[in-house]
Amino acid sequence: MRLRFAPSPTGYLHVGGARTALYNWLLARQSGGSFILRIEDTDLSRSTEEAIEAIMTDLRWLGLDWDEGPDAGGEHWPYRQTGRYALYHEAALRLLREGHAYRCFCSPEELKERREAALREGRNPMYDRRCRSIPEGEAQRLEEEGRPYALRFRVPEEGETAVRDLIRGEVVFRNREIEDFVLLRNDGTPTYNLAVVVDDIDMRITHVVRGDDHLSNTPKQLLIYHALGKEPPAFAHLPMIVGTDGKPLSKRHGDVAVGYYREAGFLPEAMINFLALLGWSLDDSTTIMDRETLVANFGLERVSSKPAVWDTDKLYWMNAQYIMAMDEEGLAEAIRPFLVREGLLAEGDEEGMERLRHAVPLIRERIKVLADAVPLLAFLFREVETAEDSREFLEGDENRAVLREAGKRLLELERFDAESIESALRAMVEGMGLKPRKAFQPIRVAVTGSKVSPPLFESMELLGRERCLQRIARALEGSERRGSRVR
């Protein structure tokens, strides 16, 4: 099997595109075939080099490697449509020469006016085929005069074109409802339908797996295949992805860019698992599946034709499951870039990394994405500022008494480990006649800056005696200063 993913680099990689890429990749890997990356950049006004690089970055992050592509080479190079214009022109001229295409001299303004008139009158706004009847000699004369023209495909006026879809079964289109579509624009640039067919023929694509928004293009492409005398590939159109409200997935349901999920700290393996289940299932009960299981079991026969629901809560749950399954070293390495990004940890800081490795078991069950680790661990890597919603725990005589007594007890400890810290502070709480939660919260806020943190005693051990005492003293000093101003 030879399969391809052919994004248009006019923006970010959408999660729907990522699912399409994944399904193609799975089929190629399962069959021992080839997965090809092809950039469809004929939209010159919107395609950018930055978008191409961003798409490739997101695919690499997902682990969807390609066998042929712009940077990988291959016998069908270049894998960017802007470098393949000669092939498109050759095919278009052949279709013209053999009577499957004709010159259309209608200007864009005329076409727009006719479309608007048709819509006002309740008619189908498709092209009215008026240039189709221009004799060849007359068409050549107009061309020689320099009249601009587009090249249109001569769609048969009778009969049907059947799409045999591997997911939906046979879908039939009546030819009279397919307009004579453009192959080459009047500036000589190819349209999508021509370019994609020529590329798929040249690259010997055996299966085209893509979103169902392309289904209406497929009969046009089949007509081109037949006119060129080529056997078309097998087609499979994936179901639409919708939000939990049943409407097409868009930013109103949350972010739809793969890059967002990468930056937020989702794990690529969790994303792959989640994307695979958007329209496909192994059975009725299996949810967590590694890449090897997906490669071994994926098949189009189990892809549903019904819309797939994007459930963000399920994605967060799934990512948390993958985080829980990671070993401490792997999780620490995965979290490290997020701390570096926030300036909390420097590249090559081995002491900081050692601290992070010890902190990982404390937060593993508390984070759903890697970025969640940053606010939880920030206190270990920089001096803290007490959060606005936590300052109340440092105010008042009782809280100040707790902080003063805690400082004394911690100073007297022979060993500064979690067990010793807990024993000393629980004895303090009992001696002061306080409830543990009420007494521990001022200490937590003083040493971490927040009322929410990893387990207190283990956090204090990681922070070390000196810094714990410094922070308690600083919190106490600030609280007493604010208290004296109030009085």
Return the active site residues: 251
Phi, psi at 349, each rounded to 5°: -80, 95
Contact of 394 with 379, CB cutoff 8 Å: no
Determine the Cα–Cα distance for residues 448 and 153; give it in Å rounded to an integer: 69
Strand pairing category for 207-211 and 234-238:
parallel
The CA distances from residue 259 to 253, 268, 312, in Å, are 16, 11, 15
Task: Give, in order, the Cα–Cα distances in Å from 164 to each of 179, 235, 454.
Answer: 21, 7, 57
Determine the Cα–Cα distance for residues 280 and 333; give it in Å rounded to an integer: 32
The Cα 150–Cα 190 span in angstroms is 10
142 to each of 106, 135, 279, how far by Cα in Å? 12, 11, 51
Q: Which of 207, 193, 199, 202 is nearest to 35 (CA)?
A: 207
Give the closest residue to 94 by CA, choosing from 185, 221, 224, 203. 224
Contact yes or no for 81/172 (Cβ under 8 A): no
Provide the token pair at 108.
């864009």
Which residue reads 């092809």 in tokens? Answer: 38
Tokens of 388: 């606005």
Residue 169, beta-bridge partner list:
165
The answer to whether 24 and 3 have CB atoms below 8 angstroms apart is yes
Q: Which residue type occupies 406?
A: A
